[in-house]
Amino acid sequence: MYMKELSVSDVTELQKICVDTFYDAFATYNTAENMSLYLDRQYNLEKLISELKNKNTYFYFIFDDDHGAVGYLKLNTADAQSENTFKDALEIERIYIRHAFQNQGLGEILYNIAKTKATLLGKKQVWLGVWEYNQTAITFYQHYGFEFAGSRTVHLGDAPQIDLLMVKHL
């Protein structure tokens, strides 16, 4: 396994893993229409290119030698964060691992990259939002010392859903 920080030249591969992993994680819980709306809005090439160009956003791939990119990480600071609730913080917006590679320690590797980036940037907190019914992710983050810090409503297509906000003080 090895890591790579992404640039605009990686946008096509990024789009593919974004769509694939999000679909695998949430398609069974949502309508096809809402999934399509969400994927089209969140993972279109223009939006991803803009995010890759943002100096306050960081993307990383984790690669397997035989299978290419098997997971990715998206981090945000400053005005790139999806909420302005947490000051002097780094947001873990996404940690996604392809289904076949889950439960192999890759999430821990990606989380450690996020924690290291936060430390290098002098951030006092790391925070994230996690779907209220994603108990596996909630347990993962609690294991690393994250605590609940509120909630927010997000829309997957036209369906409102609740994300629990979790924070870890560094």
| Alpha-helical runs (H) found in 7-78 | 11-26, 32-42, 45-53
Q: Which residues are bridge partners to 148 per DSSP?
A: 166
The amino acid present at 19, given as its one-letter code, is: V
**Cβ atoms 46, 16 nearer than 8 A:** no
DSSP 82: S
104-108: long-range contacts (C-beta < 8 A, 24 or more apart)? Answer: 106/1, 106/62, 106/70, 106/71, 107/71, 107/140
pLDDT digits (tens, 9 = 90+) for 13-58: 999 999 999 999 999 999 999 999 999 999 999 999 999 999 999 9
Q: Phi/psi at 136 (nearest 5 deg)?
A: -60, -45
Tell me the one-letter amino acid at 64.
D
Instruction: Please list the ranges in the chain whose pLDDT falls under 70.
Output: none
pTM of the predicted model, to two decimals? 0.95
- 38 is an active site residue: no
Domains defined for the chain, CATH in brackets? 2-123 (3.40.630.30)
Query: Can you give the pLDDT at residue 43?
Result: 97
Query: Rounded to an integer, what distance in angstroms lies between the CA atom of residue 151 and that of residue 127?
Result: 12
- pLDDT score recorded for residue 142: 98
In the set 43, 72, 96, 141, the catalytic residue is: 141
Contact criterion met (CB below 8 Å) for 101 and 64: yes
